[in-house]
A and B are shown apart, each in its own frame.
Chain A
């Protein structure tokens, strides 16, 4: 094979495993789901492809509340985790010193226990008469009827807790790469600390903010575990709806249609965000 041809083929050969992987495990399920969403029928009669796109409009009409609620919850979770993680990541990256790795380990430590167990344990901690609220009620700090569980606060708080590391780690990576000499230079040029932060640190950490927001927002919108365990009435998220359509009602077309609506909503949001932030910042 001539060297020039080889050189031209190499990039394609290198991308081949990844491309095949995507084809098998992303494209095939997507197309299958798309097909299911356009089928009609029942479990007993079977489902047939009829191109019944009305399932989409029906599903959107039925579950618009849950879809908007999920996006709203996801947005709150993203903003709060960003505000909470930024100072933490900043401090570890720039002031962590020799113990940086220990602090990072502390952030990661909750990951050593399964997601479900961590979320379930909040049910015990926040029980109406549990160790925390029970004690506060006994002391008269809280009224007897006060509850945290089964409210939207509990769902959002649970998600913030569970998704915090997804925000903190990319932020840390971005801030860690920051060259301290840049900050010295800024102060040499008579910038105040506030100006140095706004003009140097913050712009240089934007790739981390960007990646963190994506990594938090996307799974948060589709999450159903927190709403299942910590939520109550009127906290149902779109993930719960999908789960119920597939596993309880056996209404595969509607479940598939909602999944696609969710995906479309996220995709539109993310694309707008990417365009605004500039795609080159994706390369953290």
Chain B
């Protein structure tokens, strides 16, 4: 643009000599201003000067070392226990610690929530939340961008004492430097044995021509690509873009043979209940809930492997009440509190001891939660679980393109 300006000045300066008409100059100016306008419409990024990749506070630690008696908490809908219009865990926490919680259910999916906090974080203004719950791959991405505060593990004794081993030092956040798990779930296969006529065990069952038009896959790129990689014998963590292309080939073959009915978001659950789908990629917590209406449904981690995804609590860079947020992080790792949340939420609890507490409950519902391998996976199940591959920006674009060709045939 500055080149253009210079060019225009030269043009104006040389006007008398070269007899440049007023019209020519105006045309030049018009082109300049149009370019300026076009350029001004840009979308600013995170690595620009001023904002800085490391957010506003230059990574020099937290904004405060004191509790302020309050913090704000952005979470997903239906992701904490409720009773009589109250949230018992939040209320108990406030009673025990005197810290008020501004709890909001504002996250519907990772990408669009990240979209709402990305700009302010990039310009160093903070996300407007003291604590957020997002999925592991986004934790990795935000940590890489310098958008998350480091946790002070001396303030998290309960986490150290009670968190399950699989949740410590995860590949997406080494040493739990920026995050601790909230709840997690498994991406595997949900099916109706009456319709399939047999037990489903393997990833390859999703490719069986006998189930033509009755198989559901996810339109969520990470789930489908990572599960497919496992299915063709590649550990997602080690996968290259070439491996992803192999997974794409496999998925396109499945699509072109007419085996896949469609690529689903959350609505796969309805299709499974309505029997439009006989077997489908599925999330463990959903199937657990669906079993109350349709007990015949089953969930299986394919023998080739399933995905353990973890939703994590984290503190965005520049949060005003980080110490209060960490007090809450530690509070929910008290096994009693963890049990209370899990009994209502039905996802996988990061605190194994909660299972014993739930087993001792009086009502049969809570006992069924305690017994379900979908809430407390068995060790055999756990040995089959892998994490999503952490994609850098370039890989993410390549994977998105590969996967886009699959679902947008």
Please tell me which stretch of B38-46, B286-294, B324-332 contacts chain A, meaning at least 4 of its Cβ atoms lie within 8 angstroms of it: B38-46
**Most-contacted residue by chain B among A46, A123, A124 (CB, 10 A):** A46
Contact, CB under 8 Å: B46 / A44: yes
Contact, CB under 8 Å: A247 / B409: no
Q: 1/0 per residue B18-47: CB within 8 Å of A?
A: 000000000000000001011101111111
Give which listed residue, A39, A128, A231, contacts B43 with CB less than 8 A: A39
Q: 1/0 per residue A18-45: CB within 8 Å of B?
A: 0000000000000110111011011111
Given A31-B41, A45-B393, the answer on whether A127 and B408 have CB atoms closer than 8 Å is no
Contact, CB under 8 Å: A35 / B274: no
Contact, CB under 8 Å: B43 / A241: no
A64-92 residues at the B interface, CB under 8 angstroms = 65-66
Give which listed residue, B38, B43, B221, B260, contacts A248 with CB less than 8 A: B221
Contact, CB under 8 Å: B261 / A232: yes
Given A233-B260, A251-B397, the answer on whether A127 and B275 have CB atoms closer than 8 Å is yes
Q: 1/0 per residue A83-118: CB within 8 Å of B?
A: 000000000000000000000000000000000000
Give the Cβ gap from A174 to chain B, nearest Cβ, in Å.
39
Contact, CB under 8 Å: B45 / A147: no
Find chain A residues with CB under 8 A from B47 CB.
Answer: 44-46
A47 at the interface (CB under 8 A from B): yes
Given A31-B38, A248-B221, the answer on whether A129 and B274 have CB atoms closer than 8 Å is yes
Identify the closest chain B residue to A34 (Cβ).
B38
Give the Cβ gap from B218 to chain A, nearest Cβ, in Å.
12
* Number of A interface residues in the complex (CB < 8 A): 44
Given A42-B397, A44-B47, the answer on whether A49 and B274 have CB atoms closer than 8 Å is no
Give which listed residue, B37, B111, B275, contacts A250 with CB less than 8 A: B111
Give which listed residue, B45, B274, B408, contacts A41 with CB less than 8 A: B45
Q: 1/0 per residue A119-155: CB within 8 Å of B?
A: 0000110011110000000000000010101100000
Give which listed residue, A32, A39, A48, A244, contacts B404 with CB less than 8 A: A244
Find chain A residues with CB under 8 A from B258 CB.
Answer: 233
Give which listed residue, A34, A35, A46, A248, contacts B44 with CB less than 8 A: A46
Contact, CB under 8 Å: B46 / A45: yes
Contact, CB under 8 Å: A128 / B275: yes
Give the Cβ gap from B195 to chain A, nearest Cβ, in Å.
9
Contact, CB under 8 Å: A43 / B45: yes
Contact, CB under 8 Å: B111 / A46: no
Given A39-B43, A44-B393, A249-B400, the answer on whether A233 and B38 have CB atoms closer than 8 Å is no
Find chain B residues with CB under 8 A from A201 CB.
Answer: none
Give which listed residue, A39, A62, A147, A248, contacts B111 with CB less than 8 A: A248
B115 at the interface (CB under 8 A from A): yes
Find chain B residues with CB under 8 A from A250 CB.
Answer: 111, 115
Inter-chain CA distance A46–B145, complex, in Å, is 13
Contact, CB under 8 Å: A149 / B276: yes
Contact, CB under 8 Å: A145 / B213: yes
Contact, CB under 8 Å: B213 / A147: yes
Given A127-B274, A129-B274, A250-B111, the answer on whether A45 and B45 have CB atoms closer than 8 Å is yes
Identify the closest chain A residue to B47 (Cβ).
A45
Find chain A residues with CB under 8 A from B263 CB.
Answer: 233
Inter-chain CA distance A244–B255, complex, in Å, is 19
Identify the closest chain B residue to A32 (Cβ).
B41
Contact, CB under 8 Å: A35 / B255: no
A210-253 residues at the B interface, CB under 8 angstroms = 231-234, 236, 240-241, 244, 247-252
Inter-chain CA distance A41–B46, complex, in Å, is 11
Inter-chain CA distance A124–B115, complex, in Å, is 33
B162 at the interface (CB under 8 A from A): no
Contact, CB under 8 Å: A130 / B262: no
Find chain B residues with CB under 8 A from A39 CB.
Answer: 42-43
B117 at the interface (CB under 8 A from A): no
Find chain B residues with CB under 8 A from A241 CB.
Answer: 408
Given A127-B275, A150-B262, A241-B408, the answer on whether A49 and B212 have CB atoms closer than 8 Å is no
Identify the closest chain B residue to A65 (Cβ).
B409
B363 at the interface (CB under 8 A from A): no
Inter-chain CA distance A56–B123, complex, in Å, is 31
Identify the closest chain B residue to A49 (Cβ).
B39
Find chain B residues with CB under 8 A from A41 CB.
Answer: 43, 45
Given A129-B274, A130-B274, A251-B400, the answer on whether A44 and B45 have CB atoms closer than 8 Å is yes
Inter-chain CA distance A145–B270, complex, in Å, is 19
B407 at the interface (CB under 8 A from A): yes
Contact, CB under 8 Å: B276 / A127: yes
Inter-chain CA distance A233–B48, complex, in Å, is 40
Give which listed residue, A32, A124, A236, contacts B274 with CB less than 8 A: A124
A252-280 residues at the B interface, CB under 8 angstroms = 252
Given A46-B43, A47-B45, the answer on whether A236 and B408 have CB atoms closer than 8 Å is yes
Identify the closest chain A residue to B45 (Cβ).
A46
Inter-chain CA distance A43–B159, complex, in Å, is 34
B389 at the interface (CB under 8 A from A): no
Contact, CB under 8 Å: B276 / A35: no
B112 at the interface (CB under 8 A from A): yes
Find chain A residues with CB under 8 A from B41 CB.
Answer: 31-32, 35-36, 49
Identify the closest chain A residue to B405 (Cβ).
A62
Identify the closest chain A residue to B43 (Cβ).
A47
Offer 17 A-B interface pairs, CB within 8 angstroms, sorted by A. A31-B38, A35-B37, A35-B41, A38-B38, A44-B45, A44-B46, A45-B45, A46-B43, A47-B42, A127-B276, A145-B213, A150-B213, A150-B262, A233-B258, A233-B407, A234-B409, A248-B400
* Minimum-distance CB pairs A-B, first 7: A46-B45, A35-B41, A35-B38, A49-B39, A232-B262, A236-B408, A129-B275
Binding site for B on A (CB under 8 A): 31-32, 34-36, 38-39, 41-49, 62-63, 65-66, 123-124, 127-130, 145, 147, 149-150, 231-234, 236, 240-241, 244, 247-252
Beyond the given A47-B43, A233-B260, A249-B397, please list 9 additional residue pairs across the A-B interface where CB-CB is below 8 A: A36-B41, A43-B118, A46-B42, A46-B46, A46-B47, A49-B35, A128-B276, A147-B213, A232-B261
